[in-house]
Structure 1
Amino acid sequence: MDQRSQSEVVGGSTEGTLSVRDAVYKLLREFGMTTVFGNPGSTELPLFMNFPEDFRYVLGLQECVVVGMADGYAQTTHNAAFVNLHSAAGVGHAMGNIFTAYRNQTPLVITAGQQARSILPFDPFLGSTQAAELPRPYVKWSVEPARAEDVPLAIARAYYIAMMPPRGPVLVSIPSDDWEAQTSPVDARIVSRNLRADPDLIAQVARTLDGAKAPAFVVGAAVDRDRAWSEVVRLAELHNARVYVAPMSGRCSFPEDHRLWNGFLPPMRERIVDRLAAHDVVFAIGAPAFTYHVEGRGPHLPSGTELVQLTDDVQVAARAPLGTSVISSIRLGLQDLLEVSAPPAREAPPSYQRPPRVPEPHPDSRLPVSWVLQTLNDLRTRDSIVVEEAPSARPVMHGHLPIFESETFYTMCSGGLGYGLPAAVGVAMGKPGTKVIALIGDGSAMYAIQAIWSAAQLGLPVAVVILKNRRYGALHEFAQIFGYRPDEPVPGTDLPDLDFVKLAAAQGVQGLHAETAEQFRQALSQALEADRPMLVEVEIA
Structure 2
Amino acid sequence: MGRRPALALLEILRGEGVDRVFGNPGTTELPFLAALMDAEDAPEYVLGIHEGAVVSMADGYARATGRPAFVSLHIAAGLANGLIGLLNARRSRTPLVVMAGQQDRRHLQQDPMLSGDLTGLAAPAVKATFDVQHARDLPLAVRRAFALAVRPPAGPVFLSVPMDLLTEDTEVEVPARTPTPRSGAAVGLDRAAVLLGAAARPVIVAGDGVGRENALPALVRVAEACGAPVHHQPMADFLNFPTTHALYAGMLPPRHDAIRDALKSYDTVLIAGAHAFTPHHYSPGPPLPPGITVVQLDSDPDEIGRNFPADTGLVGALAPSLGRLAELLTQRVPAHTAKARVLRASERHTAERNRTEAAARAAYSPAPLAPWAAAHAVARGLPPDAVVVEEAITVGLLLRRLVRLDRPGSYTHTVGGGLGWGIGAAVGRALAEPGRPVVAVLGDGCALFGLQGLWSAARSAAPVLFVVLNNGAYRTLQDTYEVMGGQGACPGTELGALDFTQAARFFGIDAVRAESADQLRELVSETGGLTRPMLIDVPLR
TM over 0.5: yes
Q: Is 1:47 paired with 2:32?
A: yes
Q: Which residue of 2 aligns with 1:60?
A: 48
Matches within 5 A, 1:115-514: 115-129=103-117, 131-181=118-168, 182-196=170-184, 198-199=186-187, 201-323=188-310, 324-341=312-329, 342-345=331-334, 346=337, 347-348=340-341, 349-351=344-346, 352=349, 353-354=352-353, 355-357=356-358, 358-359=360-361, 366-485=368-487, 488-514=488-514
- SS of structure 1 residue aligned to 2:275: coil
- SS of structure 2 residue aligned to 1:310: strand
Deviation, 1:294, is 1.6
User: Which moves more between the two structures, 361-370 or 444-453?
Assistant: 361-370
Task: Check the 8 A contact 1:256/1:402 in 2, yes or no.
Answer: yes
Task: Give the gaps of 5 or more residues in structure 1.
Answer: 1-15
TM-score, normalised to structure 1, is: 0.93
Question: 1:141-190 CA deviation, whole Å, 9 max, x = no partner?
Answer: 10112312211211111001112122110000000001122232314423
- SS of structure 1 residue aligned to 2:361: coil
Alpha-carbon distance change, 307 to 519 in structure 1, aligned in 2, over 3 angstroms: same
Deviation, 1:318, is 4.7
- SS of structure 2 residue aligned to 1:44: helix
Q: Which residue of 2 aligns with 1:532?
A: 532
**AA in 2 matched with 1:356:** E
**AA in 1 matched with 2:533:** P
> Distance in 2 between the 1:516 and 1:356 partners?
18
Alpha-carbon distance change, 526 to 223 in structure 1, aligned in 2, over 3 angstroms: closer
Q: In percent, how many aligned pairs have the same letter?
A: 36
- SS of structure 1 residue aligned to 2:483: helix
- SS of structure 1 residue aligned to 2:418: coil
Alpha-carbon distance change, 378 to 95 in structure 1, aligned in 2, over 3 angstroms: same
TM-score, normalised to structure 2, is: 0.93
Task: Check the 8 A contact 2:367/2:514 in 1, yes or no.
Answer: no
Task: Check the 8 A contact 1:282/1:306 in 2, yes or no.
Answer: yes
> Distance in 1 between the 2:444 and 2:423 partners?
11
**AA in 2 matched with 1:49:** A
> Distance in 2 between the 1:440 and 1:362 partners?
20
Question: 1:202-221 CA deviation, whole Å, 9 max, x = no partner?
Answer: 22111111111111000011
- SS of structure 2 residue aligned to 1:132: helix
> Distance in 1 between the 2:414 and 2:374 partners?
22
> Distance in 2 between the 1:233 and 1:503 partners?
43
Q: Which residue of 2 aligns with 1:9?
A: none
Task: Give the gaps of 5 or more residues in structure 2.
Answer: none
User: Which moves more between the two structures, 459-468 or 303-312?
Assistant: 303-312
Task: Check the 8 A contact 1:31/1:188 in 2, yes or no.
Answer: no
> Distance in 1 between the 2:494 and 2:408 partners?
36
The structure carrying a bigger helix percent of its residues is 2
Deviation, 1:526, is 5.1
Q: Is 1:36 paired with 2:24?
A: no
Deviation, 1:120, is 1.0
Task: Check the 8 A contact 1:165/1:194 in 2, yes or no.
Answer: no
Question: 1:66-104 CA deviation, whole Å, 9 max, x = no partner?
Answer: 000000000100110010001111110000110000011
Task: Check the 8 A contact 1:238/1:343 in 2, yes or no.
Answer: no
> Distance in 2 between the 1:235 and 1:457 partners?
45
Deviation, 1:17, is 2.4
> Distance in 2 between the 1:34 and 1:237 partners?
40
Question: 1:245-292 CA deviation, whole Å, 9 max, x = no partner?
Answer: 111211111001101111111111111111111111111111034221
When the two chains are superposed, the root-mean-square deviation of aligned CA atoms in Å is 1.7
Task: Check the 8 A contact 1:463/1:528 in 2, yes or no.
Answer: no
> Distance in 2 between the 1:240 and 1:368 partners?
37
Deviation, 1:333, is 1.6
- SS of structure 1 residue aligned to 2:281: coil
Task: Check the 8 A contact 1:113/1:175 in 2, yes or no.
Answer: yes
**AA in 1 matched with 2:22:** F
Task: Check the 8 A contact 1:382/1:404 in 2, yes or no.
Answer: no
- SS of structure 1 residue aligned to 2:147: helix
> Distance in 2 between the 1:312 and 1:301 partners?
21
Task: Check the 8 A contact 2:136/2:173 in 1, yes or no.
Answer: no
Deviation, 1:303, is 2.4
> Distance in 1 between the 2:162 and 2:266 partners?
57
Task: Check the 8 A contact 1:524/1:536 in 2, yes or no.
Answer: no
> Distance in 2 between the 1:252 and 1:337 partners?
21
Deviation, 1:361, is 5.1
Task: Check the 8 A contact 2:140/2:175 in 1, yes or no.
Answer: no
> Distance in 2 between the 1:409 and 1:362 partners?
24
Task: Check the 8 A contact 2:132/2:162 in 1, yes or no.
Answer: no
> Distance in 2 between the 1:376 and 1:138 partners?
34
> Distance in 1 between the 2:87 and 2:166 partners?
28
> Distance in 2 between the 1:188 and 1:392 partners?
48
Task: Check the 8 A contact 1:223/1:285 in 2, yes or no.
Answer: yes
